[in-house]
């Protein structure tokens, strides 16, 4: 079985996470249910901070909120001493609603709207990670209207292409994100930033992609960014004090996956920055990293109730569950693969090969093709592992399926951190025009 964090099989033969029996959690909160091992998330936060502390003098660990963001998550981050990356007004609002300190927020995105920028400026977010010249001009003029100065990191495309799914590669030249180095766009934007009165250039940012299993591409990006810092120091005579290297460290989805440990990833980056600073005779910049998936991914599982089981003779057995692509889009979008088990039969040997189908009206809504499980019956609980990142945050209401509830589990206690959506929630924003109203 695929056990991570605090997972154990208890005496009843049920899977337990954070000291909570999943069969009991299903009874208490219903299914589908997202369960997050809080101690594991906190443990990952601490590993990043500890590794950084041991390897580099001046750093910040910023959680990429797009992986999973709720108000409770913001509280956890603040308690653990992490900063926060947001990419939309909605993520920013979530953080503000959790009283998360705005000065620790990094505001990303390739198309920040006027309203979003105004909200960020008025609440005093720490840094804007600016993605284009157009955005620099917009932030400058809005900051001017408010009589404020905005702190800027320029997002650069380092031109590094890691080995990961094409949809989640971001550092290559043909990307909607960032400013090219080789085509001169980065330098042009830098000059623009220096020229505009209401902007304060603090440093650079880059992000090469996600779910990456090698440490070399990160070190390569770090080295390219340091060369750019040198170029800027020589040609513009300015000192760049901050370098944000983005996120991207991969996690274990399948038994065979072996991503590098956090410490190895951090050492690779820290070593390269120190070496380049030394080679180029530059002061050490403050380093930021922005992990998302590797902080929450393995800490989460999705729990589903089995409904209809259908045999296609000689072909396969479809085991349908009460969720699917509406609560985990990753298999449909990226052909992402997962491991699974039966939470209520966790002590039984895997006896049959089945495929786990979602309930959406879409042939592509298959959560897992071909997985070995103990004999499955209606009412069993399928648990899918490593679903803490980019599942709840990418959930939709396709087929008008309500989004699941989310619970944090820790030391035998469970806390509801997101309520299950109700049917009433689904129609809350629907309006019926007057002319369509039914008469009495
Ligand atoms: N920083 C920036 C600027 C990013 O764009 C991202 C992810 C991160 C940090 C965090 O990367 P992580 O450590 O989580 O790999 N929906 C896709 C992943 C999209 C990642 C987008 N950016 C998936 O489900 O695989």
Chain segment 403-432, per-residue pLDDT in tens: 999 999 999 999 999 999 999 999 999 999
Pocket of ligand 1 contains residue 330 by CB under 6 Å: yes
> How many angstroms does the Cα of residue 67 sit away from the middle of ligand 1?
7
Res 362 pLDDT > 90: yes
The percentage of residues in the chain with a pLDDT greater than 70, rounded to a whole number, is: 98
- Which whole number is the average pLDDT over 261-275? 98
State the closest ligand 1 atom to the C-alpha of 210, by its place in the atom list counted from 1.
15
What is the per-residue pLDDT for 1?
Answer: 80
Secondary structure (H, E, C), the chain? CCCCCCCEECCCCCEEECCEEHHHHHHHHCCCEEEEEHHHHHHHHHHHHHHHHHHCCCEEEEEEHHHCCCHHHHHHHHHHCCEEEECCHHHHHHHHHCCCCHHHEEECCCCCCHHHHHHHHHHCCCEEEECCHHHHHHHHHHHHHHCCCEEEEEEEECCCCCCCCHHHECCCCCCCCCEECCCCHHHHHHHHHHHCCCEEEEEEECCCECCECCCHHHHHHHHHHHHHHHHHHHHHCCCCCEEECCCCECCCCCCCCCCCCHHHHHHHHHHHHHHHHHHHCCCCCEEEECCCHHHHHHHEEEEEEEEEEEEECCCEEEEEECCCCCCCCHHHHHCCCCCEEEHHHCCCCCCEEEEEECCCCCCCCEEEEEEEECCCCCCCEEEEECCCCCCHHHCCCHHHCCCCEEEEEECCEEEEEECCCCHHHHHCCCCCCHHHCCCC
What is the per-residue pLDDT for 3?
Answer: 87
**Residue 361: active-site member:** yes
> How many angstroms does the Cα of residue 294 sit away from the middle of ligand 1?
10
- Return the best residue to mutate from 292, 333, 335 for the ligand 1 pocket (most ligand atoms within 8 A of CB): 292
Pocket of ligand 1 contains residue 168 by CB under 6 Å: yes
What is the per-residue pLDDT for 122?
Answer: 98
**pLDDT band, residue 170 (cuts 50/70/90):** low
Res 262 pLDDT > 70: yes
> How many angstroms does the Cα of residue 204 sit away from the middle of ligand 1?
18
The percentage of residues in the chain with a pLDDT greater than 90, rounded to a whole number, is: 93
Res 102 pLDDT > 80: yes
State the closest ligand 1 atom to the C-alpha of 248, by its place in the atom list counted from 1.
15
What is the per-residue pLDDT for 163?
Answer: 72
What is the per-residue pLDDT for 6?
Answer: 86
Kindly report, residue by residue over 227-246, the tens digit of the pLDDT: 999 999 999 999 999 999 99
What is the per-residue pLDDT for 125?
Answer: 98
- Return the best residue to mutate from 154, 248, 330, 395 for the ligand 1 pocket (most ligand atoms within 8 A of CB): 248
What is the per-residue pLDDT for 261?
Answer: 97
Pocket of ligand 1 contains residue 293 by CB under 6 Å: yes
What is the per-residue pLDDT for 351?
Answer: 86
Kindly report, residue by residue over 275-290, the tens digit of the pLDDT: 999 999 999 999 999 9
- Which whole number is the average pLDDT over 304-328? 97
Q: Is 202 or 159 the better-scoring residue by pLDDT? A: 202
> How many angstroms does the Cα of residue 224 sit away from the middle of ligand 1?
20
Res 187 pLDDT > 70: yes
Average pLDDT of the residues of the chain: 96
Kindly report, residue by residue over 1-33, the tens digit of the pLDDT: 888 888 999 999 999 999 999 999 999 999 999
Kindly report, residue by residue over 345-359, the tens digit of the pLDDT: 999 999 899 999 999
What is the per-residue pLDDT for 169?
Answer: 63
- Which whole number is the average pLDDT over 124-141? 98
- Return the best residue to mutate from 66, 128, 329 for the ligand 1 pocket (most ligand atoms within 8 A of CB): 66
Res 217 pLDDT > 80: yes
Set out the domains of the chain in order of their start, with CATH numbers.
8-30+299-427 (2.40.37.10), 38-296 (3.20.20.10)
pTM of the model: 0.97
């Amino acid at each position: 079985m695929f056990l991570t964090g605090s997972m154990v099989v208890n005496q009843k033969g049920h899977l337990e996470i954070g000291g909570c029996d999943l069969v009991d959690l299903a009874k208490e909160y219903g299914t589908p249910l997202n369960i997050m091992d809080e101690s594991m998330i906190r443990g990952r936060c601490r590993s990043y901070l500890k590794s950084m502390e041991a390897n580099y003098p001046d750093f910040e660990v910023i959680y990429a909120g797009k992986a999973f963001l709720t108000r409770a998550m913001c509280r956890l981050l603040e308690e653990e001493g992490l900063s926060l990356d947001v990419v939309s007004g909605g993520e920013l609002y979530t953080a503000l609603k959790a009283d998360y300190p705005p000065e620790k927020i990094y505001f990303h995105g390739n198309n920040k709207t006027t309203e979003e920028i105004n909200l960020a400026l008025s609440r005093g977010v720490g840094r804007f990670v600016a993605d284009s010249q157009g955005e620099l001009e917009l932030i400058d003029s809005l900051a001017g209207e408010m009589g404020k100065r905005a702190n800027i990191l320029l997002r650069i495309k380092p031109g590094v292409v890691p080995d990961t799914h094409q949809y989640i590669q971001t550092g290559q030249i043909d990307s909607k994100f960032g400013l090219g180095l080789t085509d001169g766009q980065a330098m042009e934007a830098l000059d623009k930033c220096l020229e505009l009165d209401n902007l304060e250039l603090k440093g650079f940012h880059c992000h090469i992609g996600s779910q990456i299993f090698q440490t070399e591409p990160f070190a390569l990006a770090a080295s390219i960014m340091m060369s750019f810092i040198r170029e800027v120091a020589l040609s513009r005579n300015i000192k760049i004090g901050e370098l944000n290297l983005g996120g991207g460290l991969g996690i274990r989805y399948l038994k065979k996956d072996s991503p590098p440990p956090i410490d190895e990833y951090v050492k690779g980056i820290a070593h390269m920055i120190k070496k380049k600073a030394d080679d180029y005779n530059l002061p050490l910049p403050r380093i930021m990293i922005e992990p998302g998936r590797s902080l929450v991914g393995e800490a989460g599982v999705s729990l589903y109730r089995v409904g209809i089981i259908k045999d296609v003779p000689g072909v396969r057995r479809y085991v349908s569950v009460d969720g699917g692509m509406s609560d985990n889009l990753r298999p449909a979008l990226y052909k992402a693969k997962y491991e699974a088990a039966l939470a209520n039969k966790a002590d039984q040997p895997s006896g049959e090969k089945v495929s786990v189908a979602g309930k959406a009206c879409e042939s592509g809504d298959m959560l897992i093709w071909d997985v070995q499980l103990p004999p499955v019956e209606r009412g069993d609980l399928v648990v899918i592992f490593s679903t803490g990142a980019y599942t709840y945050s990418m959930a939709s209401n396709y087929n008008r399926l309500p989004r699941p509830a989310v619970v944090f589990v820790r030391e035998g206690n469970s806390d509801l951190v997101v309520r299950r959506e109700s049917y009433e929630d689904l129609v809350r924003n629907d309006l019926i025009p007057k002319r369509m109203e039914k008469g009495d």
